[in-house]
Amino acid sequence: MNQTTNTVKKEKFNQVCIWPATVVGKEKIENFEEFMLQQFKTRVQYLEEIETSPDVDINGEVIKGTGNRNDVFFSVHDEDIGKFAIARLAYGIRWIEDVLHGLNYHQKIYPKRVSEYKIW
């Protein structure tokens, strides 16, 4: 499922989120976007799914049992961010800026290109 370039975000869909350990599949994108609208009253644009790379230890060795998790990346319509901000937390959905922030992102489990999704 890993693609080589970022999906272009639609106009007014700027805030990117990551939903860890979630599978949508290309054939269910419309269902996913409809679920988000019904569940959260939030318009979203599905962007992609990324299979995470494994964590590595201080010596650069792969840590067994890590990686290969499917994470969904999607963007939220600018007008819906306020109502989605708290509701998302119960589902483990995170802003991309929080995930990729230097204090949180010690294991580089996503392709470097995803940092281009950040809005700041």
What pTM does this model have? Answer: 0.91
**pLDDT for position 103:** 62
- DSSP-assigned letters across all residues of 17-64: EEETT----GGGHHHHHHHHHHHHS--EEEEEEEEPPPPB-TTSPBPT
Pair 42, 77: CB distance under 8 Å:
yes
Tens of pLDDT, residues 86-104: 999 999 999 999 888 866 6
Quickly state the pLDDT bin for 77 (edges 50, 70, 90). very high
Is the predicted pLDDT of residue 73 greater than 80, yes or no? yes
Tens of pLDDT, residues 1-22: 568 999 999 999 999 999 999 9
**pLDDT for position 58:** 84
- Sorted by where each begins, the domain ranges of the chain are 13-114
Residue range 97-117: mean pLDDT, rounded:
83
Quickly state the pLDDT bin for 68 (edges 50, 70, 90). confident
